[in-house]
């Protein structure tokens, strides 16, 4: 192939990415700008919190219990070799609070709530509902998008807290009731080693960042989807993929900032 | 009617999340222990503070009665100055001594207070006069090696003189 053609194609690709990035950033700015309007009409936000938060409770609670139980089992087998079996609670709690709680909840959230957001917005666009709203001088961004944005940011930290708490409960059931570790040792080791601000607090900060990122991506993909069934399907897939990758990369960045090696 | 139902459920969800957060903070983390009781400050100077960290415990008779608030350097006497927050319920005599101890063999370091016999108590802001610095592992090893070398040299001298 002509190397100049290749170069031109590469240049076009890069320009395309830059444009998309700019468009997405402006969209994010719009979302933030319309947030006060959404807060003023809080009943809209409440409806969205129900759709995003309440309806995710089943998956969050079952996953939390399962992950907590599995962590306890695996940690026990590893720690028992060094006679440190009583630190199972500490290991599970730190893993959940610092990493697995925020990240797994965000991944599940992207899969369940993110896709439903994208599909809903995409179908609204396909059914020309958003255009109809604009005709009636109702800004779809403050009526439709911003409430969902606020609801996502509010719901994700709550879901992550529930995930971690249920995970610790699941670990307790496995470690104390099933394996037979001393209950007092389980809790006291955990309480000695887990710091409220460094572990619980940092975990919550992470969930807020992930909530902003995942919800923004879900809304953007829905808003920019093609107004066809295939377009909506592609958009939902892209939501899950982008949200997951973004959450994991942000997790790495935040972890290296928060849990740096100097104590 | 349906609106009301929805709001109740969302309210329950938020309460559930808040309860989970409270549970994590109290049962899983260390919020319940000690942090916000009323305290008074005491200072202590050490030649070597070793591996003491901020928020390390201050114990007396093995019971945690305070936390370390800050560690600074006194460049007039070239000592490390540790500021401690002690639970206001416990008063110590003015000739209390402070030692830096290690929990376990290689664990975290903490300050242990040994009460003296003075009638007067330490007032908030006072300094503990008698202190014993941290045991530095390298110094111990150096002493052991030096002792062994001195012993070996002494023996060889005796043999040489024979």
Question: Tokens for B73?
Answer: 């350097």
Select the residue from A55, A57, A165, A170 to test the B interface by mutation, using most B Cβ atoms within 10 A. Answer: A165
Distance from B70 to chain A by nearest Cα, in Å?
Answer: 14
Tell me whether B118 touches chain A (CB under 8 Å).
Answer: no
Tally of domains in chain A: 1
Q: Name the average pLDDT for chain A.
A: 91
Question: Tokens for A230?
Answer: 């295939």
| pLDDT tens per residue, range A24-67 | 999 999 999 999 988 998 999 999 999 999 999 999 999 999 99
Partners of B13 on chain A (C-beta within 8 Å) are 49-50, 53-54, 57, 155, 158
Tell me whether B17 touches chain A (CB under 8 Å).
Answer: yes
Query: Is the ipTM of this structure higher than 0.85?
Result: no
**Residue A38 belongs to what domain range?**
3-259
Partners of B52 on chain A (C-beta within 8 Å) are none
| pLDDT tens per residue, range B118-143 | 888 888 888 888 888 887 778 888 88
What interhelical angle do B2-23 and A146-172 show, nearest 10? 50
Distance from B12 to chain A by nearest Cα, in Å?
Answer: 9
Partners of B14 on chain A (C-beta within 8 Å) are 49, 154, 158
Tell me: pLDDT of B8 over 60: yes
Q: Is the model's pTM score more than 0.90?
A: no
Alpha-carbon dihedral of residues B11, B16, B19, B21, nearest 10 degrees? -110
Q: Strand B63-74 to strand B57-60: parallel, antiparallel, or no bridges (unpaired)?
A: antiparallel
* Count of positions (residues) in chain B: 162
Distance from A116 to chain B by nearest Cα, in Å?
Answer: 18
**Are A105 and A208 a contacting pair, CB within 8 Å?**
no
What interhelical angle do A146-172 and A88-95 show, nearest 10? 170
| pLDDT tens per residue, range B9-67 | 999 999 999 999 998 888 766 665 555 568 888 999 998 888 888 778 888 998 888 88
C-alpha span between A101 and A218 (Å, rounded) = 20
Q: Which of B13, B30, B32 sits opposite A49 (nearest CB)?
A: B13
Question: Tokens for B32?
Answer: 């319940």
Q: Three-state SS across A128-170?
A: CHHHHHHHCCCCHHHHHHHHHHHHHHHHHHHHHHHHHHHHHHH
Tell me: pLDDT of B161 over 70: no
């Amino acid at each position: 192939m002509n190397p100049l053609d290749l170069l031109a194609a590469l240049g076009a690709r890069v320009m395309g990415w830059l444009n998309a990035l700019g468009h997405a950033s402006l969209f994010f700015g719009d979302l933030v700008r319309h947030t006060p309007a959404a807060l003023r009409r809080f009943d809209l936000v409440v409806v969205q919190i129900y759709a995003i938060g309440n309806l995710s409770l089943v998956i969050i609670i079952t996953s939390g219990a399962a992950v907590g139980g599995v962590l306890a089992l695996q940690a026990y087998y590893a720690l028992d070799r060094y006679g440190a079996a009583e630190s199972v609670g500490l290991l599970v709690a730190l893993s959940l609070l610092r990493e697995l709680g925020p990240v797994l909840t965000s991944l599940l959230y992207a899969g369940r709530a993110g896709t439903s957001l994208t599909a809903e917005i995409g179908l609204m666009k396909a059914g020309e509902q958003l255009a109809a709203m604009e005709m009636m001088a109702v800004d779809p961004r403050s009526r439709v998008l911003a409430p969902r944005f606020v609801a996502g940011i509010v719901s994700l930290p709550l879901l992550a807290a529930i995930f971690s708490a249920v995970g610790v409960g699941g670990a307790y059931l496995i470690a104390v009731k099933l394996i037979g570790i001393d209950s007092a040792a389980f809790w006291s080791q955990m309480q000695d080693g887990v710091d409220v601000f460094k572990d619980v607090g940092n975990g919550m900060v992470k969930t807020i960042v992930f909530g902003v990122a995942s919800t923004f991506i879900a809304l953007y993909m829905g808003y920019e989807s093609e107004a066809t069934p295939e377009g909506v399907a592609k958009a939902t897939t892209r939501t899950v993929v982008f949200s997951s990758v973004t959450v994991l990369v942000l997790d790495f960045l935040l972890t290296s900032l928060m849990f740096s090696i100097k104590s | 009617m349906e609106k009301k139902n929805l709001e109740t459920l969302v309210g329950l969800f938020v309460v559930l999340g808040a309860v989970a957060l409270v549970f994590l903070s109290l049962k899983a983390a260390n919020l319940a222990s000690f942090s916000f009781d009323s305290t008074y400050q005491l200072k202590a100077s050490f030649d070597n503070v070793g591996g003491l960290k901020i928020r390390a415990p201050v114990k007396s008779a093995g019971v945690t009665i305070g936390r370390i608030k800050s560690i600074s350097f006194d460049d007039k006497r070239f000592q490390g100055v540790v500021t401690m927050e002690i639970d206001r319920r416990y008063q110590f005599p003015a000739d209390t001594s402070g030692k830096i101890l290690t929990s376990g063999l290689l664990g975290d370091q903490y300050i242990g207070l040994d009460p003296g016999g003075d009638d007067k108590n330490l007032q908030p802001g006072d300094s503990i006069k008698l202190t014993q610095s941290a045991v530095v592992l390298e110094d111990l090893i150096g002493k052991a090696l030096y002792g062994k070398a001195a012993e070996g040299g002494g023996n060889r001298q005796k043999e040489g003189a024979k």
